[in-house]
Amino acid sequence: MPPKVRKAVFPVAGLGTRFLPATKAMPKEMLTVVDKPIIQYAVEEAVKAGIEEFIFVTGRGKEAIENHFDRSYELEQTLLNRQKEELYDIVTNIIPASARIFYTRQGEALGLGHAVHCAKALIGNEPFAVLLPDDIIYSEGDNPLEEMINLYQDTGQSITLTMQVPEEHCHRYGIVDIEAQRGRAIVAKNFVEKPKENAPSNLACVGRYIFTPEIMNVLDKQKPGAGGEIQLTDAMTTLLKQQGFNAWVLDGRRFDCGDKAGMQKANFFFAMQRQEIKQELTEFIAELGYTKQLTKMDNAS
């Protein structure tokens, strides 16, 4: 049986230029969706999937992430003194006390493949997950990362999470060339990073992966690809030829919080999951009358 997936890598070194000026002095991973930073969504998902070691690949100006996952004795004491037990529980349960957390730096922004490779020494000879925090994954069913780990346990092969995207959006993603499909499990025969045209399918990689440790050996030698960056997707194609590679189709939603509209959608969606906010938001939307205005605009065009 393949070894257990205990480790996860979170690439968090990106500059977040799309969210300037908000990200001038604050990491983009600390931008909030409702009341939690986006990085916390990915970490909670990993915790639920049984991950024990959390490896953050950070860069300059990302100290707020380290502080977020660390104890804050002054704040904890103040909350206790003021008898704010609920808030005390929230700030002390951001990550389980048993979690082992590591930070390593990506000195230069050379691409996602390079960021993952920065964790090589911490990964050693174990399979591991990669979670891109820009992608918030929501599922009413089982935790997709856990499903991927289960598939890995069955096959011993690497896996990427995927979803169908409209053809005109394929150029934004790594796209899977499909060999065979059984239910939600797909055998890949190739990957193409951000195809400008002739995408082999409309099945796009989204930011969750399980890798065998051999991906690091491939990344050792990976040359720059699309956009002049060391691409994870290119290394995946090489690994596929050596060991095979699977894709798992998401049954749920993915919010692209690396994008302004995607970020607002995530805020709206997760706010509507919260009973204490839902009513007020619903009334506000009705008051704005956006639905009516949009119908008018549609009719005019």
How many positions of this chain bind ligand G1P (CB under 6 A)? 13
Question: Among residues 132, 192, 215, 266, which is the contact residue for ligand G1P, using CB under 6 A?
Answer: 132
- Closest approach, Cβ 32 to ligand G1P, in A, equals 20
Q: Which residues contact 241 (CB under 8 A, 6 or more apart)?
A: none
Comparing CB distances to ligand G1P, the nearer of 152 and 209 is: 209
Which residue is at the shortest CB distance from ligand G1P? Answer: 174
In this structure, how many other beta carbons lie within 10 angstroms of the beta carbon of residue 33?
A: 21
Q: Which two tokens stand for residue 223?
A: 């040359």
Range 100-104, long-range pairs (CB < 8 A, 24+ positions):
100/52, 100/53, 100/54, 101/53, 101/54, 101/56, 101/69, 102/53, 102/54, 102/55, 102/56, 103/55, 103/56, 103/58, 103/66, 104/55, 104/56, 104/57, 104/58
**CA–CA–CA angle 70, 72, 77 (5° rounding):** 150
Question: Applying CB under 6 A, does 16 fall inside the site for ligand G1P?
Answer: no
Question: Applying CB under 6 A, does 204 fall inside the site for ligand G1P?
Answer: yes
Comparing CB distances to ligand G1P, the nearer of 144 and 174 is: 174
User: Looking at the DSSP assignment, which residues form a beta bridge with residue 256?
Assistant: 135
Question: Among residues 23, 212, 222, 233, which is the contact residue for ligand G1P, using CB under 6 A?
Answer: 233
Residues within window 44-83 making contact with ligand G1P, judged by CB under 6 A: none
Q: Residues 213-232 vs ligand G1P: string with x where CB under 6 A?
A: -------------------x
User: Which letter does DSSP use for residue 102 in this model?
Assistant: E
Distance CA 153, CA 65 (A): 31
Question: Among residues 29, 135, 147, 234, which is the contact residue for ligand G1P, using CB under 6 A?
Answer: 135
**CA–CA–CA angle 283, 135, 277 (5° rounding):** 20
Three-class DSSP category at 247: strand
Residues within window 256-275 making contact with ligand G1P, judged by CB under 6 A: 258
User: Looking at the DSSP assignment, which residues form a beta bridge with residue 56?
Assistant: 10, 103
Question: Among residues 29, 45, 147, 193, which is the contact residue for ligand G1P, using CB under 6 A?
Answer: 193
- Closest approach, Cβ 130 to ligand G1P, in A, equals 10
Considering only the stretches 20-28, 61-69, 118-126, 200-208, report the one whose residues sit in contact with ligand G1P under the rule CB under 6 A. 200-208
Considering only the stretches 102-110, 123-131, 137-145, 204-212, report the one whose residues sit in contact with ligand G1P under the rule CB under 6 A. 204-212
Question: Applying CB under 6 A, does 116 fall inside the site for ligand G1P?
Answer: no
Q: Which residues contact 172 (CB under 8 A, 6 or more apart)?
A: 165, 194, 204
Question: Applying CB under 6 A, does 248 fall inside the site for ligand G1P?
Answer: no
- Judged by the rule CB under 6 A, the positions of this chain that interact with ligand G1P are 112, 132, 135, 173-174, 193, 204-207, 232-233, 258
